[in-house]
Structure 1
Amino acid sequence: MYSTHALHRALQQTPDLPMTVSGSRTRTVRESFERISRLAGAFRELGVRPGDRVAILALNSDRYHEIFFATWWCGAVVNPINIRWSPAEITGALRDAQPSLLLADDSRLSLVTELTAGALIGVYCGDGSPPDDMLGYEDLVANTKPVPDLRTGEDAPASLLYTGGTTGSAKGVLMTHRNLMTSAVSHETAQAGGVSLLTAPMFHIAALSCWLTQNYHGGTVVFLPSFEPGSVLAAIEKYRVTSVTLVPTMIGMLLDHPDLGSFDTSSLWALGYGAAPMPATLLERARRALPGAGFVQGYGTTETAIVTALTRKDHEVGGTRLRSAGRVAAHCEVRIATGDGSEAPRGEVGELLVRGDGCMREYWRQPEQTAAVLRDGWLHTGDAAYMDDDGFVYIVDRLADMIITGGENVYSSEVENALATHPAVAACAVIGLPDQRWGERVHAVVVLAPGARATEAELRTHAAASIARYKVPRAIDFVAAMPLSAAGKVLKSLLRDQLVTG
């Protein structure tokens, strides 16, 4: 498997099909192929060699698409960086990756100017004029001859993505072409010849996988630089989008948009979701608001990409399986392990382990960290989960987020699910705070739905109707919005730090 395979196949079969849409630009497969082969030639002339890293610090666009393919075209490794990180986090990741090139748009240009003042070559990939100390992206494409594709693949390194960065130093996850392509072919959200909308950031494994999947099946990718509910709805209507993947917080914002009903979303064939638990009430709202869409859920990590899937058929059947992350994907194997490493009985919570060709090769330059998670052929995810008798996997919590109060284990997801069933709750997060008597106490942070009202006592009483009293939050804070990562996940570590400090 090599990651540029889809590009050659598309040129052979659908050369005049629109491949990318970004702002006012639409480019066919033929045009994209030509530009990518020229950009790869420019990378080689700038000294990029097989195995080198090519860093990207930019918003989603058709150029992001071209950079990925051009990097693989010349045998190098894509190294997308989280634009929402602080300058210290960005420079730390770049210092660790040691890329040969850094391509950047206007989103963090002042920082990039500082970074490229040294030996690092900077290429401006925005829509304006390039700064004096950076090369121009379009100049490179226009003035460089195309070069042949090296067709690097299989176990050669393909991507270096950095995890988290919110708790301690971020780790670089090195994935091979086999890792990425194995996961991509297991996605169900793409439709051959369809139109996929990409609004999740490309420096996240979920967006990268969705993009790869769409290219693998063949079709058009519409890029939005970032998520904005109105822009997403307008793009679905304008481009007759057939698939989009969002996190639950984004879906909630979409459903809350005051003009939702005025947009034509009938083209939507698949709505994928993941990266965080989907409250049952939110899923039901989404199914009512978008009756023509089939729903698909995917669970995975940066180290594994997709692991389990809750299919369109599963959503149609409904029932208790809607609370699960689905069954294990065809390309990998999953095991629920107890503390001593043995397999847990069905229904018993343990750590979710994964093995298969979709698992990462290693943590970049961190052999001890790699050895800690890759043991006996299994990747240890750090996620607490259980499996039912039908093989459906239920993600309970991050092991690190499990709350131990008075000797009892409390999984934040079950408390969040109990709170989320209250009609006034738009979003909630449950964390453990230090407690002198109990070790930890259960604490909730809640965002109320627009125009809704609820008291702390009311929500605690509501939760107590479905969970044990020791699991009910001892206190609840009301906030206007949750702190979210670039992937749309609630930053519980930040909430915890703020509350402890406060």
Structure 2
Amino acid sequence: MMTIEAGRAYKIPFDTTGVYVDEHGVKRYQRLPESLTTMFRASVEAHPDVEAIVEVGGPRYTYRQLWERAATVAGGLRARGVQRGDRVANLLPAGANWVIAFLATQLAGAIVVPVNTRFAPPEIEYVLSDSGVAFTFWPGEPLPEGTALVVDDAKPTDVAAIFYTSGTTGFPKGALTTHENFLSTIETSIRVFGLGRSEGPKLRNLISVPLFHVTGCNAQLLVQLAVGGTTVVLPEFDVQAFLSTIVTEHVNVIVSVPAIFALALVQGNFADYDVSGVSFIGYGGAPISPLLVERLKAGFPNARVGNGFGLTETASIATFLPHDWAAEHADSVGFAAPVVDLALADQDPTTGVGELLVRGPNVVAGYWNKPEATESAFVDGWLHTGDLARIDDEGLVYIVDRAKDVINRGGENVYSVEVENALAGAPGVADAAVVAVPDEVMGEKVGAVVVPSTADFDVAGLIAYLRPLLADFKVPQYISVRTQPLPRNPGGKLLKRQLREQTTWGEALR
């Protein structure tokens, strides 16, 4: 029988001014804009000549120019038959056009579907089919143009986007993200990052993670658009370009995954770059060591650092670990955000560990076209995250395991069942299991334990078989071949903890 212990009234180290509790017990921010469009319009009116978007090696747009371009593309969508509430897929690479396509979809009153461009073709096809898109922004094709169009009467509860997140069944699920979800995350980010609203036009944020993820889009791009700051987009990650851009574009805000910071800090010429202007560094999406936190603080001496935790279903940030706690509690994901309540389901009375539940205005409205998955994950206003956690007496949250067997590869989530399903059909494979392999840089990598059905089993052939079926980051980097059967309980369930203890990994394949 499930039991829930609601989060106690912990003291949180964030600004809670203007936070109220509605009739359903949900915390909310007062006086948020009605929609992303009204938010964007306010920044355009306040800062028309401030740089809004800079694509490294590409175009630059002021707020006025970005608004005019997005409105023209919104008119082009309408001319192509896109109506209010239609879904519009965004398959463009990171850059100015991605941002324009996202905003244009909002100005047209449609629902944007950011597509993970690293998905394998069958996965992309599924997303486009499942969401029933009326139009797709394809790479290499010009953006549609028409008479400028602005639909600005959206309500906070209207769905603004559908972000697809991989599911344990192998089929991605579309998270219905409302305007209030977005706007709540924006306000949370401003508060937990400690960004001065009056300093907005002086903020220059470098995005080096994908824009199709909620970290890049919700907690970075949209935050800067809200405060009148500048978003600098690195289209393709290269560590030297990352470092040089910090200097040449006068970047002072960076949010990324630990792996990118770890790679930057070990560059032999790191000291040649003047990064003293960086005032804030945020990280998350993967485990981080106390040593790396200390190296970050030393390498970026004027920056405050912090660890954020969230899911696609929480529209990004649910908890945040501020600078003053960052090194001493590096294994924690921090405190609940100002409008977030936390609870633990099925809490173990000895360890205090239970499934982490989240409630707040940032929690999405459910899954597109998946009523059963929605009913299972969203119960009585609480999101069941599938993550196992404990909360200490200070209110610090510690993620101790992942009930969904998700592998966190440098910020990219890989569900083991999805990879196991692909392995199950591979020639020469009798049985297989997928587990996380610890990695100093990426946090975790994908490891597969394979029981072959033939004596001449070929590892290289297996990898070649998997590549067309899985996104590149889901293809195992480690393969362990064993002759004994995989450990299972009497019901046939894989004993993955035992399997991890039994397995010795060789060199990574790449």
**Fold match by TM threshold 0.5:** yes
Query: TM (normalized to structure 1)?
Result: 0.74
How far off is 1:252 after superposition?
Answer: 1.6
| Residue deviations 1:418-437 (CA, integer Å, cap 9, x gap) | x86xxxx8855597963269
Mark the CA change 1:347 to 1:216 in structure 2 (over 3 Å): closer, same or farther.
farther
Trace 1:140-219 onto structure 2 (pairs within 5 A).
Answer: 140-141=144-145, 144-164=146-166, 168-187=170-189, 188-189=192-193, 190=195, 192-193=200-201, 194-209=203-218, 210-219=220-229
Partner of 2:53: 20
Instruction: Please give the per-residue CA displacement for 1:115-156, whole angstroms capped at 9, x wherever unaligned.
Output: xxxxxxxxx1xxxxxxxxxxx32xx44xx3222332423011
Amino acid across the alignment from 1:385? A
How far residue 20 of structure 1 moved from its aligned partner, in angstroms, is 0.8
- Helix, strand or coil for the counterpart of 1:67? helix
2:68 maps to what in 1? 34
Say if 2:80 is the partner of 1:46.
Answer: yes
What is the CA distance between 1:313 and its match in structure 2? 3.2
Q: Distance in 1 between matches of 2:214 and 2:114?
A: 10
Alignment of 1:76-91 (within 5 A): 76-91=110-125
Counterpart of 1:312 in structure 2 is 323
CA contact (8 A) 2:50 2:228 kept: no
**1:439 Cα shift?**
3.8
Pairing partner for 1:266 from 242, 254, 276: 276
CA distance in 1, matches of 2:502, 2:111: 46
* 3-state DSSP of counterpart to 1:477: coil
Are 1:324 and 2:332 counterparts? Answer: yes
Superposition deviation, residue 347 in structure 1: 5.6
Which range moves more in the overlay, 212-221 or 472-481? Answer: 472-481
Count residues with an aligned counterpart.
Answer: 400
Are 2:489 and 1:478 aligned?
Answer: no
Letter of the structure 1 residue corresponding to residue 337 of structure 2 = A
Matched, 1:95 2:129: yes
SS in 2 for 1:323: coil
Give the CA RMSD over aligned residues: 2.6
2:43 to 6, 10, 24: 10
Match of 1:364 in 2: 368
Counterpart residue type for residue 321 of structure 2: L
Whether the aligned pair in 2 keeps the contact of 1:347 and 1:388 (CA below 8 Å) is: no
Deviation per CA, 1:383-431: give whole Å up to 9, x if none.
010000000000112113399xxxxxxxx99x95xx86xxxx8855597
List gaps (5 residues or longer) in structure 2: 1-33, 408-434, 450-485
Q: Given that residues 430 and 442 in structure 1 are in contact (C-alpha distance below 8 angstroms), is that contact kept between their aligned partners in structure 2? A: no
Distance 1:289 1:217 in 2: 27
Structure 1 CA distance, aligned partners of 2:264 and 2:270?
A: 7
Residue 394 of structure 2 is aligned to residue 390 of structure 1: yes
Task: Verify the 8 A CA contact 1:432 1:443 in the aligned structure 2.
Answer: no
Contact 2:251 2:277 in 1 (8 A): yes
Between the aligned partners of 2:358 and 2:118, the Cα distance in structure 1 is: 29
276, 284, 288: which is aligned to 2:286?
Answer: 276
Q: 2 CA distance for matches of 1:272 and 1:381?
A: 22
Distance 1:259 1:75 in 2: 47
- Which range moved further: 277-286 or 158-167? 158-167
Shift of 1:480: 5.7
Structure 1 position 247 matched with structure 2 position 265:
no
1:20 touches 1:222 (CA, 8 Å); kept in 2?
Answer: yes
Contact in 1 for aligned 2:341/2:359 (Cα 8 Å): yes
> Aligned pair in 2 of structure 1 residues 34, 306: CA closer, same or farther (>3 Å)?
same
SS of 2:67's equivalent?
helix
Secondary structure, in 3 states, of the residue corresponding to 1:400?
coil
- d(CA) in 1 for partners of 2:163, 2:157: 17
Are residues 1:355 and 2:363 paired?
Answer: no
- Counterpart CA distance in 1 for 2:350 and 2:279 is 34
CA gap of 1:426–1:363, structure 2 versus 1, over 3 A, is: closer
Distance 1:216 1:346 in 2: 45
1:478 positional shift: 2.9
Preserved CA contact (<8 Å) 2:168 2:404:
no
Which of 298, 302, 306 matches 2:308? 298
Q: Describe the SS at the equivalent of 1:359.
A: coil
Other-structure match for 2:344: 336
Aligned twin of 2:415: none
Where does residue 454 of structure 2 map in the other structure? none
The structural deviation recorded for 1:178 is 0.7
For 2:158 and 2:406, the matched residues in 1 are separated by 37
Residues 348 and 360 (structure 1 numbering): CA distance in 2 closer, same or farther, change over 3 Å? same
TM-aligned CA distance change 1:145 to 1:428, over 3 Å: closer
The answer to whether the Cα contact below 8 Å between 1:346 and 1:386 also exists between their aligned partners in 2 is no
Whole-angstrom CA distance in 2 between matches of 1:393 and 1:282: 20
Which of 223, 227, 236 is the matching residue for 2:246? 236
Offset of residue 473 of structure 1: 6.5
1:234 Cα deviation after fit: 1.1
Greater relative contact order (CA < 8 Å, ≥ 6 in sequence): 2
Q: Against the structure 1 CA distance between its residues 335 and 344, is the aligned structure 2 distance closer, same or farther, given a 3 Å change threshold? A: farther
What's the counterpart of residue 133 of structure 1? Answer: none
CA distance in 2, matches of 1:272, 1:477: 33
Question: Which runs of 5 or more residues in structure 1 are unaligned?
Answer: 107-123, 125-135, 404-411, 445-471, 482-502
Aligned partners of 1:435 and 1:441 also within 8 Å: no
8 Å CA contact 1:443, 1:476 repeated in 2: no
1:334/1:355 contact within 8 Å kept: yes
Residue-by-residue CA offset, 1:195-242 (whole Å, 9 max, x unaligned): 011121111111111211111122111111122211111111011111
Q: Does 1:72 align with 2:106?
A: yes
Change (3 A) 1:300 1:43: same
| Matched-pair contact (CA < 8 Å) for 2:127–2:172 | yes
8 Å Cα contact 2:288/2:443 also seen in 1: no
Shift in Å, 1:349: 0.8
Output the TM-score relative to the length of structure 2.
Answer: 0.73
> Equivalents in 2 of 1:436, 1:173: separation in Å?
33
- Helix, strand or coil for the counterpart of 2:399? strand
1:333/1:346 CA distance change after superposition, 3 Å: farther
Q: 1:377 is matched with which residue: 372, 376, 381?
A: 381
For residues 17-63 of structure 1, the C-alpha deviation after alignment (integer angstroms, 9 at most, x for no partner) is 11111123221111111111111111112111111111111211111
User: Is the 2:318–2:340 contact (alpha carbons within 8 Å) kept by the matching residues of 1?
Assistant: yes
- For residues 325-368 of structure 1, the C-alpha deviation after alignment (integer angstroms, 9 at most, x for no partner) is 00000111111121xxxx66696111000111111111110000
Distance 2:339 2:249 in 1: 32
SS at match of 1:322: coil
- Could you tell me whether the CA contact under 8 Å between 1:431 and 1:443 is conserved in 2? no
Structure 1 residues 263 and 176, CA, compared in 2 at 3 Å: closer, same or farther?
Answer: same
